[in-house]
Amino acid sequence: MNAKLQVLVIDDDAVVGRSFDRVLSEKGYDVSTVLSGEEALETMENTNFDVVFTDIKMPGMDGLEVTERIKARCPWTPVVVITGYGTQANEVRASVLGASGFVRKPLTPEMIESITLKAVNDSAATTADVIEAPEDLVEVETVAEAEVPKAKNSIAKNIGLFFASPFIALGYVIALPVVGFYMFVKLGREAFIKKHMSE
């Protein structure tokens, strides 16, 4: 890695933070550890982290509240919840809050490495999707631009019809008596011929 990926570990047990630091530092990550959710949020004001790990059960702000605050502030940052008190309800809530993972202690070095790698890869895939999104927008804009000449032609046609309509109406007004007179003469002639033929 050219630029070290930044990892934040939030756990009131300093031993957990040191375990993450030992395992991930050897793999080229830059690891920061804090002991509370409040301290984590302060730290995140000055540093953009690539992955955040948070314990659930901590004094003050618990890990789920920390997850919620982080995702509200930095929705693109993957947050992995770690706990020794895993319950189905906590796991569901963590998922709803946008956590990238939910893992139970004790963690082995292999687990720490694989969880971190998965979170980084998932985040990279999500970022790639977001970067590709503008292409779709460009396509929509191009289609919209293609519709503009049609709209202009339609407006021009409507304006033309608006100005031509009095003349069209005048034509009908002039033509109507002529057509009516022609029909009157034609019907009169047919009646005259029929009358003479019957005699």
Q: What is the pLDDT of residues 81-93, one digit of tens each?
A: 998 876 788 888 8
Q: State both tokens at 125.
A: 């895939």
pLDDT at 91: 87
Q: Give φ, ψ of 97 to 5 degrees.
A: -75, -10
Q: How confident is the model at residue 133 (pLDDT cuts 50, 70, 90)?
A: very low
All residues at 6 or more sequence positions from 24 whose CB lies less than 8 Å from its CB, including other chains: 7, 31, 112, 113, 116
Q: State both tokens at 194.
A: 């029929």
Name which residue leads in pLDDT, 167 or 68. 68
Q: If you average pLDDT over residues 102-130, what whole number do you get?
A: 81
Residue given tokens 């509370």 in the structure block: 36
Q: If you average pLDDT over residues 59-73, what whole number do you get?
A: 92
Q: Are 64 and 54 in contact (CB under 8 A)?
A: no
pLDDT at 199: 60
Burial of 79 (0-12, 13-18, 19+ CB in 10 A): buried
Burial 115-139 (b: 16+ CB within 10 A, else e): bbeebbeebeeeeeeeeeeeeeeee
Q: Delineate the domains of the chain, giving CATH numbers in brackets.
A: 6-132 (3.40.50.2300)
What confidence tens digit (pLDDT) does each residue in 25-47 have?
A: 999 999 999 999 999 999 999 99
All residues at 6 or more sequence positions from 98 whose CB lies less than 8 Å from its CB, including other chains: 67, 71, 75, 79
